[in-house]
Structure formats: C-alpha cells, structure tokens
Structure 1
C-alpha cells in the first residue's frame, strides 16, 4: 500500500456567465473527478460558492501532484493557494471519489461566511481549519441524507 497524503487548497472562481452556466461547469468538474479519481486511488471533497473553490484531495503523492497540476492549468480556477499538504494515516473522505458538499443551506452559510470573512484573502487561513470545515460539512450532509 502506498503512503497516503492529503492536499487542501483554495482557488478563486474564474467561471463567468450566468448561474446555469456556472452550475454546468461545476458539474463538469465533478463528473471528471468522479470518473478520473478512482483509478488513481484519489478521494476527496469539493465545496464551491460563487467566489471560490475549496478542495481536499487524498491519495498517493504522485496522483495528487499530477491531478493538482491539471487543476492549476484549468482556466476555471485562479489564484490557487495550497494551504496544507501532508502525510496522513487515514482518509477522511473514503466514501467519495469526489464529494460535492455545501449544497445545504447550512453548508452554504458556513462556506459563504468563510468567503465573506476572508474577503477572498486567505492569508492566515490554515489548511487544517479548512479541512475541518469541509469534513464537518460532509459529515453533516451525509448524516442528513441517511
């Protein structure tokens, strides 16, 4: 078994257009991740609001690095900022090739509040804290769906 790593990053949304177009682009990102991640042994979660993406990727180092290189080249993402990249002993998102969370009112409020408080300036925002926010939203939404 390969060593497990976790990457936590933020990026600014560069998708322009109306709400329907933005939603279609986010669904395209999710579909590609859900298709491409399982063979790479990647799991994770994505949260999106109109202004920013926050994502956690978990898996082998080489798979995370190659996937993140593609994300950096994706014109839908801007000003990418890695907040944390570290070795870990277990997956937090083992059920999801790429979960999409924050669609609930509570999730939108929590993540939208983060964007509003930071003004999209992520100086001082710690990767561990962002990971905890995403994990907590995921657990809340998973519990609600059960």
Structure 2
C-alpha cells in the first residue's frame, strides 16, 4: 500500500452544501489527491504541448477505466493535478505517476477522504496556458515565488476547481 507523504494536514472543507459534488457508490472509499510536479521536457513550448496531449489522451482513457476523475493544470513550467477516485485506484495511479520520467519534483499537497467528487464529469479536465490563467498563476507567484509548497493544499484545490469550471463555462 502506498503511503502518501505530504507536508501538512489538510483542513476539512464542508462540501455538503455544494450541489456540483457527486457521492460515490463504491465500497472502496473515495479520496482526493492533489500534487504538483515539474516537466522534464525543456525543448520549448511546442514539445511540452505535444507531450501534454499524449498525457491527456492516455489519462482520459485509463482514468475512465479506473473510475478516476480530476483536473490537470499546466502553466508557468508547473503541473498541478487533482485526482479523485477509489483509494485503491488512486494509490495504483500515483505509484505510476511517481515513476513517470516525464516529470520530477513530485510533491503531494493534499490527500484526504471525501464524500463527493469535485470533477464527476471529467476523466481529466485540462487547463492550459492562457493570459487569464497566467494572471492567476502570476498572483500566486507574487505571493509564493512560484513555490506551491507555500500554498495550503485546500487553497490550491479551490484555485484548480475555479479554473476548471471557468474553462468549461468559456467553452460553452
């Protein structure tokens, strides 16, 4: 069994008032994992975009099979990803992620049991580089110097969630 190491305990959030969250029917308890990492690809933005497309295609296919949902952000040379699903599936998936040589400096920022999913409809939502999100990440950078380790996991999770739902709203 994988032990998730993270730098701090998460502060519980009361999600029961938010209708967008879905309960799981699985006997395997539902967990939410948020981590950040840095890409190894340094050959330019086009190479990174191509690599992200490959990651997304494979992730969406595999996550659906595992009953895993979530969101991935790439901006300012940083990946931030939220994964939600049965604990056994998340543990298995995170083992694979930690061994993936396409990125490094993997750090768990939050891992906790939840009653409902934040991203029930997305096998993997993606929020890419844009001026709007560059501003959001810029604000984070001003405070932290691009050090997500200085953000609480719950705060970063709310930022990811807001960005994902804004991206969906803009697409429709």
Given the two structures, how large is their TM-score scaled by the length of structure 2?
A: 0.78
Residues 15-30 of structure 1 mapped to structure 2, 5 A cutoff = 15-30=41-56
Q: Go from structure 1 to structure 2 and tell me whether the alpha carbon gap of 1:88 and 1:65 turns closer, same or farther (over 3 Å shift).
A: same
- Do 1:51 and 1:115's aligned partners in 2 also have CA atoms closer than 8 Å? no
Distance 2:40 2:142 in 1: 17
Q: Go from structure 1 to structure 2 and tell me whether the alpha carbon gap of 1:112 and 1:63 turns closer, same or farther (over 3 Å shift).
A: farther
Is it true that 1:41 corresponds to 2:67 in the alignment?
yes
Q: Cα offset for 1:77?
A: 1.4
Given the two structures, how large is their TM-score scaled by the length of structure 1?
A: 0.91
Is it true that 1:97 corresponds to 2:131 in the alignment?
no
Alpha-carbon displacement from aligned partner over 1:84-134 (angstroms, at most 9, x marks no partner): 100101111111100101444322321344346433433331110111000
Matched position secondary structure for 1:123: helix
Distance 1:120 1:13 in 2: 14
Q: Cα offset for 1:74?
A: 1.2
Q: Go from structure 1 to structure 2 and tell me whether the alpha carbon gap of 1:67 and 1:25 turns closer, same or farther (over 3 Å shift).
A: same
* Mean CA deviation greater in 94-103 or 37-46: 94-103
Name 1:143's counterpart in structure 2. Answer: 169
Name 2:30's counterpart in structure 1. Answer: 4
- Do 2:33 and 2:84's aligned partners in 1 also have CA atoms closer than 8 Å? yes
Task: Name stretches of at least 5 consecutive residues in structure 1 with no aligned partner.
Answer: none
Aligned length: 146
Among candidates 149, 152, 168, match of residue 123 of structure 1:
149
What is the CA RMSD across the aligned residues, in angstroms?
A: 1.6
- Do 1:13 and 1:50's aligned partners in 2 also have CA atoms closer than 8 Å? no
Q: Which structure has the bigger radius of gyration?
A: 2
Distance 1:87 1:131 in 2: 14
Distance 2:150 2:143 in 1: 12
Distance 1:112 1:100 in 2: 19
Query: Which stretches of structure 1, 4 residues or longer, exceed 4 Å deviation after superposition?
Result: none
